[in-house]
Structure 1
Amino acid sequence: MTEFIDQQRERGHAVQQICQALNTQGLKVSARTYRSWKAEQPAPRVVTDALILNALHDLQKPNQETGRPKPEVLYGRRKMRVWLQRNGFPDISKHTVDRLMRVAGMNGLVRGRRTTTTIRAKDKIRAKDLLNRNFFTDAPNKVWVTDFTYVPIRSGFAYVSFVIDLFSRRILSWASSTSHDTTFVEEALQQALWQRRSERNSHVRPVFDTVHHSDAGSEYASQRYTQTLALEGLIPSIGTIGDAFDNAAAETVMGLFKNAAVAKDSPFRNGPLVTESDVVDLVVDWVHWYNFERFHSTLRYRTPVEFEELYYDEMSGSLPDVAASKLAA
């Protein structure tokens, strides 16, 4: 209201005349009220709240090109606090984030139910579980985990396989197909091998004796896939049958993909998923965001790529003392 009256004053109208015109339109405001509003300065908290709410509303605005909101609308309170701290509000508290997210109508992503796609191998002879549910390691390329999931399309299903580095939770590669067989999951493996071997960094651990962990699906327990692992110098590890917790790190990524990217209200979807090509476009956008922009709580709210870069900087001795202490925190 004060902004409107100020605009009219700049055009040469008196405050009393402006207020009279507003009163005739049903807006009861007097010249005295206007002057008291101008004399009062808003509290710092009111100003800060308004700026934060503007940032939250900007995340929800549809992009002019895609018509979709920004992926950060998927964040819950903790990740949103980190995002705000990195975008101009370093001193914001978790209570403020919680309060203003409620005002903005933001709740974050709610995980859905897990869907089973594993078909157990008939052959009882398979690799042992070398992880024993220990999903943490101290360097890249020590342990890879893999799994695949399905996405409904008009003609049936498209299947998407991921290979993930356990250290940084980085998605090294992915593959899509309309059938889930050994060739399909092997393609994702070969892409991961190419990705790591093409990285020219003297501190990158060679892809040799890397533990390759999967569930007991027939695709991963097949003789052909086992031979491929042996030829590439990877050590196979397979969880027990019917227990998703034995491959929980990969299952988590599958769940995130289904709920963050495939869901109907996803910020990564442009419309219905009709063909495998639609799914490929979806995966490309989501994997890039996941690796380069999405904060990961397991990585102390860093992105997978950022976490790896900090590790390599520390190994090379180029990491400042302050940054090194933060990495170890």
Structure 2
Amino acid sequence: MKKERKIYDPALKTKAVQLSNERTNISELARELGIAVTLLYKWRKEYEEFGQGSFPGNGNLKLTPEQEKIHELEKKLKDAELERDILKKGNRHLLPERSMKYEFIKNNESIFPIEKMCYVLKLSSSGYYKWKNRSFSKKLLLKEKIKEQITSIYFSSKQRYRSPRIRFELNSLGYKISRITVAKYMKELGLRSKLSKKFKVTTNLKHNYLVVENLLNRNFIAEKPVQAWVSDITYIQTKEGFLYLTTVIDLYDQKIIGWSLSNGMSTEETSLAAWKMAVGNRKIADGLIFHSDRGIQYASRKFTNTLKFYEVTRSMSRKGNCWDNAVAESFFKSLKTELIYGNKLITKEKMKLEIFEYIEVWYNKKRRHSTLNYQTIEEFNNQNKM
């Protein structure tokens, strides 16, 4: 049977390319997004050549010979600028001893390509790697490796993880270590997780639409997928005003199966948009319960009729009781604590990219969830295949 060719949305392609430009490991990002690395490089090349005119579908535009020449010159200029930046940053390392040059390369691996730094500093890359892997005592070497892993996990989680989650992450990598030791090493490294902060929820209850009873009744455990979904809306502050994030979460594995980030609060932009993504990701099953608050986006005729069409059972939180939708509230708290609080305000476009990465790359694929016994969603589903 011929495998059906998957069609990717142009907006997803654009966001994936923009995100790849901020990463150093393209292969890792491709795995996180669930796409072939060759496909991501193809998207990057097209976006680099055509910019906003990329991904029109069939009949892609072709560069003229003049455009190709300009493009080649721009690539050479970019390469020259990279060498200039390395020379500028590593100026004091050009004349001193070789070990200082190696230290410079090691401290700037996340900024510049290793091979390019070796070329500019007139070193062989094989000599650098040999120096980097020089021998230590086994005990000291193990400690240093663990500290490196802790630092890597800490920053790859964007400073979101505390010692319990880092410990589980280390265990999954084969390091047997206690939470107390992890906390000790984090203290030595000066690594502290971001702190929580209270936030308010935006819900418009001033409407005359029909509401329903709280059928879910705070039973946030589902025995199988597509048994119970919860949804909610929150605001995200940016330099250019508010964005509104709507999510749909499957209680079985805590996965964000549908979401929408909008400038407005209409039903079409919020609840309906997130619902359409959710039903696209998971096929509706008989007996599905959909739980939300009593906001107008969920009580409107348009959304109510949509759920009637799918024969979904409705459930709504009691008025003014946020604990009735605690799972959705918990996600928003994690999002704002781990991504937004403590950081400077950014543009709406930049925030959209940050939210995309947080949900599709971090939360749904890499984050360890305490409610899943500190497993990732993927690990949980692999362990509980039905």
Does TM-score exceed 0.5, indicating one fold? yes
Letter matched to residue 189 of structure 1: W
Q: Deviations over 1:131-156 (max 9, x none)?
A: 11111111110000011111122332
Equivalence map 1:233-244=2 (5 Å): 233-244=311-322
Matched, 1:148 2:220: no
Equivalent residue in structure 2 for 1:306, among 379, 383, 386: 379
Aligned residues: 250
What is the rounded CA distance, in whole Å, between the counterparts of 1:57 and 1:248 in structure 2?
32
**Alignment correspondent of 1:76:** 162
Return the match for 2:357 from 285, 297, 301.
285
Deviations 1:143-189 (A, max 9, x none): 00011111122332111111100110000011111111211211100
Contact 2:293 2:316 in 1 (8 A): yes
Matched AA of 1:53: K
Match of 1:298, SS state, is helix
2:150–2:166: 8 Å Cα contact kept in structure 1?
Answer: no
2:272 corresponds to 1:194: no
- 289, 294, 301: which one aligns with 1:216: 294
Indicate the structure whose relative CO is greater, using CA pairs within 8 Å and at least 6 residues apart.
Answer: 1
Aligned-residue identity in percent: 28
Give the deviation of 1:258 after TM superposition: 1.4
Which structure has the bigger radius of gyration?
A: 1
Unpaired runs of at least 5, structure 1: 1-6, 8-40, 61-68, 198-205, 266-270, 316-329
Is the contact between residue 230 and residue 292 of structure 2 (CA under 8 Å) also seen in structure 1? yes
Which of residues 192, 211, 215 in structure 2 aligns to 1:126?
A: 211
1:108-187 matches, within 5 Å, as: 108-123=193-208, 125-184=210-269, 185-187=271-273
TM-score (norm 1): 0.71
Structure-2 change in CA distance of 1:134 and 1:289 (3 Å): same
Q: Which amino acid is 1:112 matched to?
A: K
Tell me if the contact between 1:171 and 1:291 (Cα under 8 Å) persists in the aligned partners.
yes
Quick one: structure 1 residues 96 and 225, their matched pair in 2 at CA, closer, same or farther if it must change by over 3 Å? same
How far apart, in 2, do the equivalents of 1:261 and 1:94 lie? 24
For the 8 Å contact 1:111–1:259, the answer to whether it is kept is yes
Task: Provide the secondary structure at the position in 2 that maps to 1:49.
Answer: helix
TM-score, normalised via structure 2 length: 0.61
Q: Gaps spanning 5+ residues in structure 2: where?
A: 1-98, 100-135
Cα distance, 1:237 vs. partner?
A: 0.5
Contact between 1:292 and 1:305, CA under 8 Å: does it hold in 2? yes
1:240-285 alpha-carbon deviations (Å, 9 max, x no partner) = 11111000000111111112122344xxxxx74212x322211211
Query: Who is 2:367 aligned against?
Result: 294
Distance 1:133 1:116 in 2: 18
For residue 55 of structure 1, the aligned residue among 146, 149, 152 is 149
Q: Is the deviation greater in 183-192 or in 298-307? A: 298-307
Separation of aligned partners in 2, 1:304 and 1:55: 22
